[in-house]
Chains A and B, each alone.
Chain A
Amino acid sequence: MRITQGQFSFLPDLTDEQIAKQVQYAIEKGWAVNIEFTDDPHPRNSYWEMWGLPMFDIKDAAAVVSELQACRKVYSGRYYIRISAFDATHGWESLRMSFIVDRPAEEPGFDLERQEVDGRNIRYTTRPYATNKPSGQRYS
């Protein structure tokens, strides 16, 4: 299965040139750009690992693309990598963009556990198959 988190998961995988254009859009809006990675794609996993600090003062998307390439050298194929853009404007102070730019070749997806409780209720637990293994050994 293909995890569809982020803005552009329903489109074909983005090229570096396409990524650069999206990043340039964020930069021109004055947003900080962040690269994050994880091998726990649970939909409620808010805190992916940060590849350095968010880039607050860059002018050119090329800087982000070169950081992304460095991140890929370490994690590509074994981790999800996403780019996000943060808007510090009063009244927003949150993300404005978030999209996946790299994903493991094989995505086994999620197990949905159902625990039947009283009154026909079911307690649901979503568990990525990958997280049965320790972090770092999940996708290879």
Chain B
Amino acid sequence: MSDKSETVKGEDRYKAGVMSYKKMGYWEPDYQPKETDLIALFRVTPQDGVDPIEASAAVAGESSTATWTVVWTDRLTASEKYRAKCYRVDPVPNAPGSYFAYIAYDLDLFEGGSISNLTASIIGNVFGFKPLKALRLEDMRLPVAYVKTFDGPPAGIIVERERLDKFGRPLLGATVKPKLGLSGRNYGRVVYEALKGGLDFTKDDENINSQPFMHWRERFLYCMEAVNKAQAETGEIKGSYLNITAGTMEEMYKRAEYAKELGSCIVMIDLVIGYVAIQSISKWARDNNMLLHLHRAGHSTYTRQKSHGVSFRVISKWMRLAGVDHIHAGTVVGKLEGDPLTTAGYYDILREDFVPQNLEHGVFFDQPWASLGKVMPVASGGIHAGQMHQLIHYLGEDVVLQFGGGTIGHPYGIQAGATANRVALEAMIFARNEGRDYLAEGPQILKDAAKTCTPLRQALDTWGEVTFDYTSTDTPDFVPTPTAS
């Protein structure tokens, strides 16, 4: 969509009264984004009859310097620099009425090292703006100059692997179930069985904090007994994500310190604690050699629907900056939302040092990470050993595969469930490295491995056919088309 700049220049620009956003200078189709600009890509759905370019200019204006009327005090500033500039508006393929608006923001609009500041601008007021039916932040290009103002993950994938002494395969975890109601002593039993059986990690669920049935100290004490005992039984390093989410930051620090005192290698937080709390606890984790696991509790309220909200690829970028070591990022094959290509885009954003534009994966911009630490994605929710070939195919090697029900629901017990998962994983990586077509031969590879592993055979008999095959709501807008030859 092409249109000329309509920006009013000189003193006419500052006459009191209301002026359209594109006339105020928030639509500059000739603008060339600078290397240091932040760029946001919004999916804009204007109200009926609203010009898409004016709507997009309004998004630029309301997320930077504008208010609803002209103000003379703009003239006390280098206002042209501070105005966000919408420089491109394209119709969304196959979605009449929606437009992709590219908006560039000068680096000086943002405080370094603060996700709160970034989000207060970019998703602050503008999502409730009346002339829009809906608005979604699809992607952002973060310039190196901005990336370098953040510390990123306290450990990152490589340091985490070195600390755990685990290489060349996905890590294995399980969320303790039932998520609510177990006493500390019973909870620790599940942790011990799962870790001894072959998992690397167990995990508190997002809503297990400190409830009447289990005070947080009880959980921490029994979990650490289980972790240490399983370590001694296997000779392997083990961990349990102790959820330190609480009502206040002070209480979270208290729980974090206690986890450290008990010798835990990892603590856990929920996304709902907010960006400031995440960044604060990230600094604490960095200072205390602690891995930091983030459960993305709440994200689907704003990430899932394509028309309105914030894409999870943007949340992934913010969380890599904010500094977490683990983040739940989808399973593709499990019970929760996750289109394969879109999920591949999230995984790239979390794990690669340079992520090239890839519209088929929903990645709109080249994103350099400038050696910022890599985040380990976590795949959790409705996955089981029988899907191992698909999980490795879609998610790769640097991922935590989390089998909660798929471990604890094993008909012969938790240890058996854990062993089934570990054997399935090792057999599949082994076959892949040998050069076998493990995706096609996956079911046979698992059957063969089950010949020497009864728990795996039982797991395959129980869940072999279970799949969650529903249409995704959040899918890429661009599909490859065959080129005419």
How many residue pairs between the two chains, A and B, have CB atoms under 8 Å in the bound complex?
A: 110
CB-based contact A4/B234 at 8 Å: yes
B198 contact set on A, CB distance < 8 A: 4, 10
Within 8 A of B (CB), among A74-128: 84-85, 90-99, 109-112, 120-124, 126, 128
Q: A95 touching B228 by the CB < 8 A rule?
A: no
Residues of chain A contacted by B423 (CB below 8 angstroms): 10-11
Residues of A within 8 A of B221 (CB): 120-122
Least distance between B442 CB and chain A CB atoms (Å): 16
Near B by CB (< 8 A), chain A positions 1-59 give 1, 3-5, 7-12, 18, 21-22, 25, 41-44, 46
Segment of B27-35, B160-168, B204-212, B302-310 engaged in the interface with chain A: B160-168
Q: Which residues of A contact B449 (CB under 8 A)?
A: 11
Contact (Cβ within 8 A) B433 A22: yes
Question: Is the pair A122, B225 in contact by a Cβ cutoff of 8 Å?
Answer: yes
With beta carbons under 8 angstroms apart, the residue of B168, B224, B228, B434 that contacts A7 is B168
User: Given the known A-B contacts A10-B198, A98-B167, are A110 and B426 also in contact in the complex, defined by CB atoms under 8 Å?
Assistant: no
B352 CB, nearest partner CB in chain A, Å: 9
Please determine whether A94 and B158 come into contact, CB atoms closer than 8 angstroms. Answer: yes
Contacts of B273 in A (CB 8 A): none
Any chain A CB within 8 A of the CB of B235?
Answer: yes
User: Nearest-CB distance from B162 to chain A (Å)?
Assistant: 6
CA distance A11 to B433 in the complex (A): 14
Q: Are A94 and B161 in contact (CB under 8 A)?
A: yes
Least CB distance from B219 to A in Å reads 13
Do the beta carbons of B427 and A11 come within 8 Å of each other?
yes
CB pair A110 B235 closer than 8 Å: yes
* A92 pairs with B234, CB closer than 8 A: no
Contact check: which of B235, B371, B433 meets A3 at CB < 8 Å? B235
Q: Given A7, A41, A91, A98, which contacts B235 in the complex, CB threshold below 8 Å? A: A41
User: Is A21 touching B426 in the complex (CB atoms < 8 A)?
Assistant: no
Tell me if A25 and B435 are in contact (CB < 8 A). yes
**Which residue of chain B has the shortest Cβ distance to A110 in the bound complex?**
B232
B447 within 8 A of A: no
Complex CA gap A22/B429 in Å reads: 10
The 3 lowest CB-CB distance pairs between A and B, nearest first, are A3-B235, A112-B232, A97-B168
What are some 28 contacts across the A-B interface (CB < 8 A)? A3-B235, A4-B235, A4-B236, A5-B165, A7-B429, A7-B430, A10-B419, A10-B423, A11-B423, A18-B434, A21-B434, A22-B430, A42-B235, A91-B371, A91-B374, A92-B158, A95-B167, A96-B167, A97-B167, A110-B233, A111-B232, A112-B229, A120-B221, A121-B261, A122-B228, A124-B228, A126-B228, A126-B232
Q: Which residues of A contact B (CB under 8 A)?
A: 1, 3-5, 7-12, 18, 21-22, 25, 41-44, 46, 84-85, 90-99, 109-112, 120-124, 126, 128
B: residues with CB less than 8 A from A are 158, 161-162, 165, 167-169, 198, 221, 224-225, 228-229, 231-237, 261-263, 353, 371, 374, 419, 422-423, 426-427, 429-430, 433-435, 449, 452-453
